Amino acid sequence: MADILPKLPLPPPPHGKSSYYAPCPHCDRSGLKKDKHLNISLVKNVFRCARCGWNGGIFDLYSYYTNTPRDKVRDELKRIIGIGKDDAGDSKRSGGSVIANAHAQQAFIESPAADITTRHTVYSALLSMISLAPDHMRKLISRGLPEQAILQNEYRTTPVVGGKALAKQIQAKGHSLIGVPGFYKDSGGWTFISMWRGILIPVRDIQGRIQGLQVRRDNQEKRKYRWVSSADIEGSTNGCGAEGWIHLAGPVRERILLIEGPLKADIVHHLTGQTVLAIPGVNSLRHLEAVLVDLVEHGVRHIMTAFDMDFLKNPHVQNGYAELVNLLGRMDLTFGTYLWRPDYNGLDDFVWEGCLGHTCDV
């Protein structure tokens, strides 16, 4: 990826970064500086747009920007970069980029995600050591969750300091931090990432185990929700990225709702009593098929999607929704879509405000 980027009309990666965001040619058309949704990974050699879902590898990216047929890309790159000969020749013909790229990757030694048992154990230990700030408690209550449900769901306020102390305490309990997103090693040893202030949200599997953490950032209008991740931290080793895990709120039942966002799923589950499955975003379906297969085996037969009402006019969400419908159509279940008053964008808002806070049917 580092070898071909200088040959494409894309901004160069910031110094010391192993991934970065650039404008997506499919959906970032405003020209605004903040519109950069295409993530390019120099370590994994892949790209993906967080908004429209466009993704692929080195050949796909080169093919798109140069109009080279994809089946001809390999030969083209071999010709202009010099791939396919001896290693020394590669380094000379590419101006040392092969060696430079290898050194850059060594600075970011990432670990694959640990198994679910390890992640759940470490995250449970972490959440037991930190608390929920009063303003975050009030915020959650204002969205329809009573204090008992808030405590049961284990929401916490992001720790802004003390990452090394937290990591040390967790290790003292005998837990390994390798492959747990949010933890990484720097020159001083293991630590937990320092991040934006916000509400930590556990993302749970169908057995209630914590797969990963999301954070709802304070005072943000766009990209409010971000994964807790320790990938691509300059000078770090053994960091780990989050993988867009699917969240389930409530017991497995024959009929469930499918919604966008773990926190929203928790709220709708509490207010309606229905079981709610949450994807991170309508364009983030990577793990959904495997989860649906598991749910079907456990008795799920019908799914109703309940995405925010702005999907009716947002083409990027509509594209993701079309992909979702194709996926559901391949599964052994029936499905449909809920619509409600558009002045309530989210189902959680409609249920909480429209039903005056009382438990009601969707």
**pLDDT tens track for 204-233:** 999 999 999 999 999 888 789 999 999 877
Residues of the chain with pLDDT under 70: 16, 29-34, 81-109, 283, 354-362
Report how far residue 110's alpha carbon sits from residue 124's, in angstroms, rounded to the nearest whole number. 23
Q: Say if pTM beats, i.e. exceeds, 0.85.
A: no
Residue 215, strand partner residues: 200, 226
pLDDT at 81: 67
Tokens at 152, concatenated? 């049961």
CB 199 within 8 A of CB 157: yes
Residue 269: helix, strand or coil by DSSP? helix
pLDDT at 249: 97
pLDDT at 345: 84
pLDDT at 285: 80
CB 98 within 8 A of CB 84: no
The torsion angles phi and psi of 290, rounded to 5 degrees, stand at -65, -40
DSSP state of 304: E
Domain map of the chain by residue range?
A: 5-107, 116-239, 247-354
How many CA atoms lie less than 13 Å away from 258 in the CB half-sphere? 26
Fold of the CATH domain 247-354: Dna Topoisomerase Vi A Subunit; Chain: A, domain 2 (3.40.1360)
For 11-46, the pLDDT digits (tens) are: 888 776 778 888 888 887 666 666 788 889 887 888
pLDDT at 34: 67
**What ranges in 154-287 are assigned the alpha helix state H?**
163-172, 262-272
pLDDT at 91: 39
- Selection from 117, 78, 118, 83 nearest residue 98 by Cα: 83
For 278-306, the pLDDT digits (tens) are: 998 776 787 898 999 999 999 999 999 99
Report how far residue 63's alpha carbon sits from residue 223's, in angstroms, rounded to the nearest whole number. 30
The CATH number of 5-107, from 1.20.1250, 2.60.40, 3.90.320, 3.90.580, is: 3.90.580
Report how far residue 308's alpha carbon sits from residue 317's, in angstroms, rounded to the nearest whole number. 10
**What ranges in 216-305 are assigned the alpha helix state H?**
262-272, 288-297
pLDDT at 153: 97
The torsion angles phi and psi of 292, rounded to 5 degrees, stand at -65, -40
pLDDT at 213: 97
Report how far residue 126's alpha carbon sits from residue 192's, in angstroms, rounded to the nearest whole number. 10
Report how far residue 282's alpha carbon sits from residue 258's, in angstroms, rounded to the nearest whole number. 10
Largest CA distance in the chain: 71
The CATH number of 116-239, from 3.20.10.10, 3.90.980.10, 3.40.720.10, 1.10.10.10, is: 3.90.980.10
Tokens at 165, concatenated? 């102390």
Report how far residue 322's alpha carbon sits from residue 340's, in angstroms, rounded to the nearest whole number. 20
